Amino acid sequence: GALMQINIVVDTIFSTFLEEGTPTWLYLSQRMMQLPLGIFAMALSTVLLPHLSKLFASNDDEKFSNSLKQSIRIVLFVGLPSMVGLSILSEEIISTIFLRGEFTYIDVYKTSYSLIVLAVALPFLMIQRVLQPAFFSRLDTRAPLIISFLSVGVNIIMNYLLAFYLELGHVGIAGGFLVAALISSSGFLYVLYKKNLIPAKYLFNHKNLVIIIISSLLAILLFFISQNISFAAISLANKIITLCSMVLGSTLIYLALAYLFGIRFKAFKSNN
């Protein structure tokens, strides 16, 4: 369960061997990435564990599978637009929150670079987080342990290759974290697929593809807007107002598109 925290500790250790300021850039970008992860994925994971445990105790594999599939869809629905917003608005977010005192625009750029990479890792981390209860509810701790060790090993190797061998610095460390998140989430999905709990074709069904499409449209919209606003030239108050307006406006547009395309969710019932 501490997989992500272990990888963050590994990244922090590697960052101390790079240029001055690297640990701070990584730390701040990790905090931004963990905000949607903590609010949505961890909350969903907490709800899922007792729900899936009841379904496993009643031997209802069909409802167990349906709950997992709905969880993945919720994660895609929240994780993809979060990834889009954090990556495209990375400079705007970092400058609005942290640009003051000794934190300069160089620090804003450096932090935004690692935030972009970590934002791409966000959906994979969210998938990993909501799939863990599927193993714990079935009293299976072996598979998550093996996948966790594999992920940490991959993270260490990729950190060295990307940050030091290819000289990508703190962006390389973020890239190693991304690869580790991809490996762990893929490992969880593969094991559940082998147990016939998640069919392979589900990941590419109609509604999931719709979420990917409207997230892509959101990315285009935010990119166009961000290119026409110079955050460096406006005051902090205007930055806050502009950023909040962009986030709120894009969220409403995303929800409206999702509703028009028929994306719906059902609550997890505790009496199942």
Percentage of the chain modeled with pLDDT above 70: 97
Position 11 scores a pLDDT of 87
Q: Please, are residues 26 and 12 in contact by the beta-carbon 8 Å criterion?
A: yes
- Write out pLDDT tens, residues 81-128: 999 999 999 999 999 999 888 899 999 999 999 999 999 999 999 999
The mean pLDDT of 197-214, rounded to a whole number, is: 87
Range of 112-121, 223-232, 259-268 with top mean pLDDT: 112-121
Q: How high is the pLDDT of residue 141? A: 85
The pTM of the full predicted model, rounded to 2 decimals, is 0.90
CA pair distance 123, 130, nearest whole angstrom: 11
Q: Tens digit of pLDDT for each residue in 40-87?
A: 888 888 888 888 888 888 888 888 888 888 889 999 999 999 999 999
How confident is the model at residue 159, as a pLDDT? 93
Structure tokens, 206: 């109609």
User: pLDDT digit string (tens) for 123-157?
Assistant: 999 999 889 888 888 888 888 889 988 999 999 99
Largest CA distance in the chain: 61
Chain-centroid distance of CA 122 in Å reads 1
139 neighbors 52 (Cβ within 8 angstroms): no
Token code pair at residue 78: 């929240």
Could you tell me where the beta strands, DSSP code E, fall in 107-206?
none
